[in-house]
Structure 1
């Protein structure tokens, strides 16, 4: 096979191309580069003429013809003229077939600008659809939980314990570390501001109430949503992609009972325990920080803490934990079951799971804050 080459010559705005050798698919990548080097960037507007001389071509297939026809289209689109020379009837017929296959360039009309009212409406509809999906999953979980309690359906305790290990036990180190650091930061900032009023000791009150009522549970729920919620979504999503969930249905198993219920129950059980550990570690970090930063020894810290908080302060955060765990589990499982067949869909739903879970956790925390204020709790 004769090597494919390309001779070219510029004359003012006119360009003459002379393909030589076998212009076939095996040489297509090199020929494309040669055409690009010879013609350069096609000008936006030109009145020049492009001459393509096929007299030196020994062999021409659809790949070679496509490269030449594509250059012809670009030149004509810029306003220039194109002349073909030296081609026999067979090659001219091939070029005509390539032209017909490519078709005329179609200019897609620009989409009209979308009104902000349409954007708001689509967002509202999307939120409504999400709420419907979450409520359907919640109803299915309640039904399967009741059937398991009355013995009409098996309760998969082994699966639940495994999920408790993944979502709870393995999350303990990072929860403790983040809580310790967060407690130290809260204590330092509180003491720094109160120092101007000679009231550093009240940093104990501030940290104790903030940690037990808000900070510890919020931090723990957000960490669980980002760590365990995303893992649940990715796991169920990959099962959905491989049609394993459909296989469960074919075998007569309910995916809600097999996959969703154990994960939701596990989260409901472990999040209060993680919150308790976060409470303790946040206060421990605050105690050490105030000891070294403000010279408040641990015995004074603990003594003042006992007067600043009571059981209502302690339980006000723990009461939120099961509700937040339920939300994280429902959102994670719903988004995982909604994955459809591609890695892009899996990534999108995993991201949506984390974002929606954290948003709803913050909303629920705000609702509880209003409720506690209304009942003076």
Structure 2
């Protein structure tokens, strides 16, 4: 007893976490001294190891915390882990000398074993079918959500037509500048280069058959009907669609959209409608500029590489294309703008409260928008072919 008392006196003078062991037959009492806190992490782990070792052979182990100066979550978790290890060996163990704060802390940070679940074995065929089924269900949900969002958008436009003061013209002009004016350099450059490539490849292939002048027909029809609007839409989906998703998603993360609803404002009217209207106005204009750049690039390469003069190029271009050839691309543009804007805004609204969710939705927005642009282009191609336009 005198030896234990001496140990207790020395431990009380030392604030470092420590354990004093008292044995009384089949019972072992572990008296914890000092600060069992995170700044004493090494001493806490050493004390826990000493606890489990000294408890060997005892039928009943009492963990006395009455002399602990301070206990935080780390210390409580380590002590409860040691108690769990002793119980797992078939011994009886429990805490004594607890005041209310210590009891609550030990209860909140109680140690649990987390066992790994055995992986469930599936056949490759079942996994493939499961993935296909999940993709189909996800596509169906996206379709239903898109139709619902379109309905909300049409209702918002109806309210703005009834009460024009609800329409935010300043926001639309701002987005029109960002989507339209600032996109002109990159779209015209890409269209010019693609026009050059199409002309070069067309001349290279048609020269074998002595039909080099027909490259003008190829450039004119392909650019005006397909390439101009398709390149413009894909560039806008990657540039402006991703920006819309990131902007709305960031507002969703910061709960600014919830704040708009609390203030009695409709996020569709405030955030979505101006962006989609700006896209619908800007995309036909950008498509027109893309057509001009593509034709100019094709004309330059035809002159340099194919020996087709500017007069011959322009004359054959006038005979190869008509007004409907130009209008096919322009008619597609507003519909593609609507698809891009809706997908971008839907994915932005779907962002949760993490940066990972924001990145995932931005990626999904760009992929879905480009895919749907190509689908819409294919549908229009079949439609115009069926009406011979």
Superposition TM-score, scaled by structure 1 size? 0.76
Q: Within 2, Cα distance between the matches of 1:220 and 1:104?
A: 56
- 1:174 paired residue among 186, 208, 211: 186
Deviations 1:175-202 (Å, cap 9, x if unpaired)? 0110110100000000001111111111
- 1:267 paired residue among 262, 267, 279: 279
Change (3 A) 1:295 1:246: same
Q: Within 2, Cα distance between the matches of 1:267 and 1:317?
A: 16
Matches of residues 247-326 of structure 1 in structure 2 within 5 Å? 247-326=259-338
**2:54 matched to 1:98?**
no
**2:137 matched to 1:128?**
no
- 1:107 paired residue among 116, 119, 124: 116
Q: Within 2, Cα distance between the matches of 1:218 and 1:65?
A: 70
Q: Which residue of 2 aligns with 1:140?
A: 152
What stretches of structure 1 of length at least 5 have no aligned partner? Answer: 2-22, 32-59, 70-82
Change (3 A) 1:290 1:104: same
Q: 4+ runs of 1 displaced by more than 6 Å?
A: 89-96
What stretches of structure 2 of length at least 5 have no aligned partner? Answer: 1-13, 15-35, 66-75, 85-109
Instruction: Give 1:25 deviation, angstroms.
Output: 5.4
User: Residues 160 and 263 of structure 1 are in contact (CA less than 8 Å); yes or no, is this contact kept in structure 2?
Assistant: yes
Deviations 1:224-262 (Å, cap 9, x if unpaired)? 000000000000000011111111111111111111111
Instruction: Give 1:27 deviation, angstroms.
Output: 8.0
Deviations 1:54-91 (Å, cap 9, x if unpaired)? xxxxxx31x4467x69xxxxxxxxxxxxx94799x999
Matches of residues 222-261 of structure 1 in structure 2 within 5 Å? 222-261=234-273
Equivalent pairs, count: 314
**2:172 matched to 1:160?**
yes
Instruction: Give 1:97 deviation, angstroms.
Output: 3.7
Q: Within 1, Cα distance between the matches of 2:250 and 2:120?
A: 35
Q: Which residue of 1 aligns with 2:101?
A: none
Change (3 A) 1:185 1:92: farther
Q: Which residue of 1 aligns with 2:129?
A: 117
User: Residues 328 and 357 of structure 1 are in contact (CA less than 8 Å); yes or no, is this contact kept in structure 2?
Assistant: yes
Matches of residues 47-66 of structure 1 in structure 2 within 5 Å? 60-61=43-44, 63-64=45-46
**2:386 matched to 1:374?**
yes
Q: Which residue of 1 aligns with 2:8?
A: none
Change (3 A) 1:295 1:348: same
Q: Within 2, Cα distance between the matches of 1:355 and 1:64?
A: 54
User: Residues 156 and 262 of structure 1 are in contact (CA less than 8 Å); yes or no, is this contact kept in structure 2?
Assistant: yes
Q: Which residue of 2 aligns with 1:40?
A: none
Q: Within 1, Cα distance between the matches of 2:209 and 2:131?
A: 50
Q: Within 2, Cα distance between the matches of 1:278 and 1:287?
A: 14
User: Residues 214 and 317 of structure 1 are in contact (CA less than 8 Å); yes or no, is this contact kept in structure 2?
Assistant: yes
User: Residues 65 and 98 of structure 1 are in contact (CA less than 8 Å); yes or no, is this contact kept in structure 2?
Assistant: no
Q: Within 1, Cα distance between the matches of 2:375 and 2:79?
A: 65
Greater Cα radius of gyration, structure 1 or 2: 2
Q: Which residue of 2 aligns with 1:77?
A: none
Superposition TM-score, scaled by structure 2 size? 0.74
Q: Within 1, Cα distance between the matches of 2:261 and 2:55?
A: 67
Q: Which residue of 2 aligns with 1:351?
A: 363
Change (3 A) 1:193 1:256: same
Q: Within 2, Cα distance between the matches of 1:308 and 1:340?
A: 52
User: Residues 147 and 153 of structure 1 are in contact (CA less than 8 Å); yes or no, is this contact kept in structure 2?
Assistant: no
How large is the Cα RMSD of the aligned pairs?
2.8
**2:205 matched to 1:193?**
yes
Q: Within 2, Cα distance between the matches of 1:105 and 1:143?
A: 51
**2:216 matched to 1:204?**
yes
Instruction: Give 1:295 deviation, angstroms.
Output: 1.1
